[in-house]
A and B are shown apart, each in its own frame.
Chain A
């Protein structure tokens, strides 16, 4: 079996998820023995447009970015969205409540801006522009999940992503529930796969892996009422990572 050719691309984001790949440390050497990394701008100068698997990080902001993404999709057999910005839109979508013109005016004032560079639309998740085959969720991604997806693809197996909430992993970690401590946590409605890392460090889940049950679902409303929180607080908290169109799917 020939090695799959992998290209890693980034759009609007913090590049933190790509950084996790560098955090593989010695295992990077294993990675490059099982796949050919043909493009990874953040760490290598070499580049090729001939690849089987494209891994996309970041949200899509501008027509020029959409065009570049469509080109990548047309060349890739498998397209993987990497990290919250790519999978659900992530924090980038927080600004979508205002129009691009409003934001630009407020940000750069009356300065004359380059029309192409600043031709900005609403921030989008990758699958709002092109079809996505697999998702690696999180802000940032979980390195073990990244490895599981890469090895799965290299072995010809469909990667499995949890469809259950963070509570499952949190309970397995034997954490004291943050609700018991009077803290407000999105774990019960957020997709697991992060090993409940935030609650394990006594910090509430913020929903970066995507919301499984919308805040307006009856059982979520019940939960909020039971713990003396307001629905508005919950909904507001959800918007940090889940303001995008793709977030509550």
Chain B
């Protein structure tokens, strides 16, 4: 517990701040007046600092996760040149309110705990935080309900106004050193100490707004009200501007894009704030949009605050600052209102139902946003739209992936896109991805030649647990380009050293037309392996096309599966295909008796960062890039967004 130990007069504080400003090694920022509102800006004079501000328009998160920052610079004239942005100037933030300090500690969980974000960490460690206890309570704030109106930690120094002086709480050595160097302070008197205690205890009562439901109940309230009418009623008024997420100190989603100068030589990969309320937040390369409905996006935001993040990190992701309430023109964004409304409608105890906890460790390799260089060593045209690329990592280290894991492939200047690895794990620094031309990155890949360079991040996500499938019958179903990741798995289990570990293997594969059948030669080879049954179908076959196999949807292959030979209770089914396919195939599998926890699927979402930060691939409480893309069907039962 930190207690105030010193006091500084207001006059001396101004001297202190001006000395900090004069020390040009720091960028000194603090709340300044902006019309009738306040905003954090660089201070040129202590007199501009408004420690009596109620709340700033944007939270100080802009200093840790800038609105727009360069992740890497590249030079397109060189083979592969991607280097990170130089460091920021160290910064001192003066006047941060307790709720913003607590919000920052929450961001630390996201950005530092699992696969740390190097850029965030650098800023975090080079920033000194001089907090300030709240003097003026914002009209819209309900911080007292969220117990974020005061804090004992998370700052280097904390100032508390007590009349003509400020009480100073020292949080860290860093803070103390700064004081020793620049400030004239006195030891706090018992009278002043009491003033601080009194001020803080009185603060709670000064809030006009409060949440009736204790914040501990939020996850249970949401668990019970997924289909409540409130989501539609409120979202009907939504302007879809995502101002609520932009001004939120605990929102952290971002978008990444490449921008090249007009000379087509230099450019940068930029990360900018993104918001889950925006229409295109869940749009993927092929044009498909997840969480298309505004109602679903509106609900998603509240579930993140009150259920998904609590399940994942253990805290409610709302600090009650009230900024969203101020920013939202139709005034539908304020959690205080929504939870007060919902508190009348029951609770459910299974609060973690939308989240899947994984214990797998991330593979930390270098800076998470900087791709490794790789060379295209072979290009094989599969069909008019699909191509197979063999890539060799230039550091000559193997990728080290499991079947089902994915990589982010960068074409500098164009962008980055996720691809499942299509080759089986290998000790060589070589792997394959198969690509269908749908978006910018895939179209650009189609123009590249052997010898060209691309960037690689990964392997990412959770692949198939091939160990757990040993001594079991395997039933693989894939449709369309679902064969791309399936190939990695099939080639792994069919490898001579692995084949004996598995019992029978049945492979079902469907394509739209004979011309779109992929890897036919390899499939023919699979058929020849002992104990392997392969069945193929095409949806349709034109008169002039040659096709000897079955015609019809993938489900027409199920009667051909020799179920009698399978030990159904010990059969592992893997399904990979377009979203529409899952529902029907899973039904077939359930009919023949495969249990849900033995049905594994690989799902596609907008995996952008690949490291559970940017938020784009989120499916209820789950990040597909971290907890997936491989899931078993039992896990997905509670995720309404899984097969939307």
- The answer for the CA separation of A150 and B259 in the assembled complex, in Å, is 11
B56's nearest neighbour on chain A, judged by CB, is: A174
- The answer for the CA separation of A227 and B328 in the assembled complex, in Å, is 12
- The answer for the CA separation of A136 and B263 in the assembled complex, in Å, is 20
Q: Are B275 and A188 in touch, CB under 8 angstroms?
A: no
* Residues from chain A with Cβ under 8 Å of B259 in the complex: 148, 151
Interface with A: B233-241, B402-410, B482-490, which one? Answer: B233-241
* Residues from chain B with Cβ under 8 Å of A155 in the complex: 260, 264, 413-414, 444
B262's nearest neighbour on chain A, judged by CB, is: A30
Instruction: Report the minimum CB–CB distance from B286 to chain A (whole Å).
Output: 13
Interface with B: A52-60, A79-87, A160-168, which one? Answer: A160-168
Q: Are B278 and A168 in touch, CB under 8 angstroms?
A: yes
Residue among A151, A175, A223 with max Cβ neighbours from chain B (10 Å): A151
Interface with A: B35-43, B337-345, B427-435, B605-613, which one? Answer: B35-43
**0 or 1 for each of B221-263: is its CB under 8 Å from A? (1 = yes):** 0000000000000001111111100110000000001011111
Is there a chain A Cβ closer than 8 Å to B34's Cβ?
Answer: yes
**0 or 1 for each of A164-187: is its CB under 8 Å from B? (1 = yes):** 110110011011110111000000
* Residues from chain A with Cβ under 8 Å of B329 in the complex: 167, 177, 179, 188, 223, 226-227
Q: Are A171 and B263 in touch, CB under 8 angstroms?
A: no
- Knowing A157-B444, A176-B57, say if A34 contacts B263 (CB, 8 Å): yes
- The answer for the CA separation of A8 and B220 in the assembled complex, in Å, is 60
- The answer for the CA separation of A33 and B57 in the assembled complex, in Å, is 43
- The answer for the CA separation of A27 and B257 in the assembled complex, in Å, is 22
Q: Are A167 and B330 in touch, CB under 8 angstroms?
A: no
Is there a chain B Cβ closer than 8 Å to A234's Cβ?
Answer: no
A202's nearest neighbour on chain B, judged by CB, is: B35
Is there a chain A Cβ closer than 8 Å to B557's Cβ?
Answer: no
- Knowing A30-B263, A34-B264, A163-B279, say if A171 contacts B327 (CB, 8 Å): yes
Q: Are A226 and B443 in touch, CB under 8 angstroms?
A: no
- The answer for the CA separation of A179 and B329 in the assembled complex, in Å, is 8
* Residues from chain A with Cβ under 8 Å of B331 in the complex: 226
Instruction: Report the minimum CB–CB distance from A203 to chain B (whole Å).
Output: 14
Instruction: Report the minimum CB–CB distance from A226 to chain B (whole Å).
Output: 7
Q: Are B239 and A168 in touch, CB under 8 angstroms?
A: no
Is there a chain A Cβ closer than 8 Å to B390's Cβ?
Answer: no
Is there a chain B Cβ closer than 8 Å to A237's Cβ?
Answer: no
A1's nearest neighbour on chain B, judged by CB, is: B447
Is there a chain A Cβ closer than 8 Å to B280's Cβ?
Answer: yes
Which of B37, B246, B257, B440 meets A172, CB within 8 Å? B246
A146's nearest neighbour on chain B, judged by CB, is: B262
Q: Are A219 and B239 in touch, CB under 8 angstroms?
A: yes
- The answer for the CA separation of A172 and B270 in the assembled complex, in Å, is 15
- Knowing A151-B262, A168-B275, A177-B327, say if A188 contacts B241 (CB, 8 Å): yes
Interface residues of A in 214-239 (CB under 8 A from B): 218-220, 222-223, 226-227
Is there a chain A Cβ closer than 8 Å to B67's Cβ?
Answer: yes
Is there a chain B Cβ closer than 8 Å to A69's Cβ?
Answer: no
Q: Are B262 and A147 in touch, CB under 8 angstroms?
A: yes
Which of B37, B236, B246, B327 meets A219, CB within 8 Å? B236
A213's nearest neighbour on chain B, judged by CB, is: B239
- The answer for the CA separation of A96 and B246 in the assembled complex, in Å, is 39
- Knowing A167-B239, A172-B67, say if A226 contacts B330 (CB, 8 Å): yes
Residue among B242, B264, B275, B447 with max Cβ neighbours from chain A (10 Å): B264
Residue among B241, B273, B331 with max Cβ neighbours from chain A (10 Å): B241
Q: Are B447 and A156 in touch, CB under 8 angstroms?
A: yes
Is there a chain A Cβ closer than 8 Å to B58's Cβ?
Answer: yes
Q: Are B241 and A176 in touch, CB under 8 angstroms?
A: no
Interface residues of B in 298-338 (CB under 8 A from A): 327, 329-331
A218's nearest neighbour on chain B, judged by CB, is: B236
* Residues from chain B with Cβ under 8 Å of A177 in the complex: 327, 329
Interface residues of B in 397-450 (CB under 8 A from A): 413-415, 439-440, 443-444, 447
- The answer for the CA separation of A219 and B327 in the assembled complex, in Å, is 16
Q: Are A219 and B447 in touch, CB under 8 angstroms?
A: no
* Residues from chain A with Cβ under 8 Å of B443 in the complex: 156-157
- The answer for the CA separation of A155 and B263 in the assembled complex, in Å, is 11
Which of B264, B278, B279 meets A154, CB within 8 Å? B264
Instruction: Report the minimum CB–CB distance from A9 to chain B (whole Å).
Output: 21
Instruction: Report the minimum CB–CB distance from A215 to chain B (whole Å).
Output: 13
Q: Are B444 and A164 in touch, CB under 8 angstroms?
A: no
* Residues from chain B with Cβ under 8 Å of A176 in the complex: 34-37, 57
* Residues from chain B with Cβ under 8 Å of A148 in the complex: 259
Q: Are A164 and B263 in touch, CB under 8 angstroms?
A: no
Interface residues of A in 113-132 (CB under 8 A from B): none
* Residues from chain B with Cβ under 8 Å of A24 in the complex: 262
Q: List 28 A-B contacts (CB under 8 A).
A: A30-B261, A30-B262, A30-B264, A147-B262, A151-B261, A151-B264, A155-B264, A156-B447, A157-B413, A157-B415, A158-B439, A164-B278, A164-B280, A165-B239, A165-B240, A167-B239, A168-B275, A171-B57, A171-B246, A174-B39, A174-B58, A176-B37, A176-B57, A177-B327, A219-B239, A219-B330, A223-B329, A223-B330
Beyond the given A151-B262, A171-B246, please list 6 additional residue pairs across the A-B interface where CB-CB is below 8 A. A30-B261, A34-B263, A165-B240, A171-B327, A172-B273, A219-B239
The chain A residues found within 8 Å of chain B, CB to CB, are 24, 27, 30-31, 33-34, 147-148, 150-151, 154-158, 160, 163-165, 167-168, 171-172, 174-177, 179-181, 188-189, 213, 218-220, 222-223, 226-227
Q: 10 closest pairs, A vs B, by CB? A: A167-B241, A30-B262, A30-B263, A171-B246, A176-B35, A188-B239, A157-B440, A164-B278, A171-B243, A151-B260
The chain B residues found within 8 Å of chain A, CB to CB, are 34-37, 39, 57-58, 67, 236-243, 246-247, 257, 259-264, 273, 275, 278-280, 327, 329-331, 413-415, 439-440, 443-444, 447
